Amino acid sequence: MTDAGRPVHLVVLAGLATGAYALALAAVATLQSGADQALIRDRAPAIAMIDQAAAAHDDLAATVDVAARRYRTLAARYDALGGSIDTYESTLDELFARTAAISASVSALPTRIQLPSVPSIPAAAPRSQPATHATTGASG
Amino acid sequence: MASPLRLITVGAHDPDEAWAATCAEFAAAEAAMTRYRPDSELTRLNARAGDGPPVLVDRRLRRAVIACDRAARVTGGCFDARIVVDLERLGDGGVPQRAPGAHGGRGTVARLVRTHERPGRLAIDDPIDLGGIGKGLALRWARDLLHRRPMAGFLLEAGGDLVAHRSAPDDGAWRIAVEDPSGGPGALAVLGVRDLAVVTSSVRRRHWMAAGRPVHHLIDPTTGEPADGGLRAVTVAGSDPAWAEVWSKALFVRGRREIGPIARSRGLAAWWVTDEGALEMTPHARTLTEWVAAEA
Domain span at residue B290 reads 173-295
In a domain, B258, yes or no: yes
Cα–Cα distance between B274 and B254 in angstroms, integer? 13
β-pair type (B219-220, B213-216): unpaired
Domain check: are B124 and B224 in the same one?
no
Over residues B264-278, the mean pLDDT reads: 94
List per-residue pLDDT tens for chain A, 140 residues long.
Answer: 445 566 888 999 999 999 999 999 999 999 999 999 999 999 999 989 998 999 899 999 999 999 999 999 999 888 888 878 888 888 998 899 899 889 888 888 887 877 777 666 555 545 788 999 999 998 75
What percent helix, strand, coil does chain A show, rounded to 5?
70, 5, 25
Taking 60 as the threshold, does the pLDDT of residue B157 lie above it?
yes
Strands B269-274 and B231-238: antiparallel
| Pair B271, B180 in one domain | yes
Nearest CB to B200; choose among A126, A127, A138: A138
Q: Choose among A128, A131, A136: nearest Cβ to B178.
A: A136
Q: In whole angstroms, what separates CA A4 from the centre of its chain?
A: 94
Mark which of B73, B97, B129 sits at the end of a domain. B129
Q: Are residues B181 and B100 in the same domain?
A: no
Same domain, B120 and B233: no
> Strand B289-292's sheet: what is its strand order?
A134-136, B174-178, B189-193, B289-292
Closest CA of chain B from A120, distance in Å: 20
B7-25: pLDDT as tens digits: 999 999 999 999 999 999 9
Residue B166 lies in a domain: no
Residue B108 domain-assigned (yes or no)? yes
The answer to whether position B252 is within a domain reads: yes
Is some CB atom of chain A closer than 8 A to the CB atom of B194?
no
Where is the domain boundary, B103, B129, B155?
B129
Which domain CATH number covers B124?
A: 1.10.3980
Do B190 and B259 reside in the same domain of the chain?
A: yes
b/e code B150-169 from CB counts within 10 Å (16+ = b) = ebebbbbbbbbbbbbbbbbe
Chain A residues near residue B191 by CB distance under 8 angstroms: 136
CB contact (8 A) between residue B205 and residue A135: no
Residues B183 and B265 in one domain: yes
CA distance B218 to B79: 10
Q: Are B240 and B140 in contact (CB under 8 A)?
A: yes
Q: How much is the ipTM here? A: 0.86
Neighbours of B116 (CB within 10 A): 17
B3 chain-A contacts, CB cut-off 8 A: 139-140
What CATH number corresponds to the domain at position B202? Answer: 3.10.520.10
Last residue of a domain, one of B77, B95, B129: B129
Q: Say how many domains are in chain B.
A: 2
Residue B89 in any domain: the answer is: yes
Residues B116 and B190 in one domain: no
CA distance B221 to B81: 9
Inside any domain, residue B27: no
Least confident of B70-74, B144-148, B228-232, B253-257: B70-74
Q: Same domain for B246 and B182?
A: yes
Claim: this prediction has a pTM higher than 0.80: no
Residues B104, B187: one domain? no
* Contact by Cβ (8 Å): B157, B3: no
Regarding whether B269 and B216 lie in a shared domain, the answer is yes
B81: in domain: yes
> Is pLDDT of B102 > 60?
no
Q: Would B118 be classed as within a structural domain?
A: yes
Interchain contact, B296 vs A128, CB within 8 Å: yes
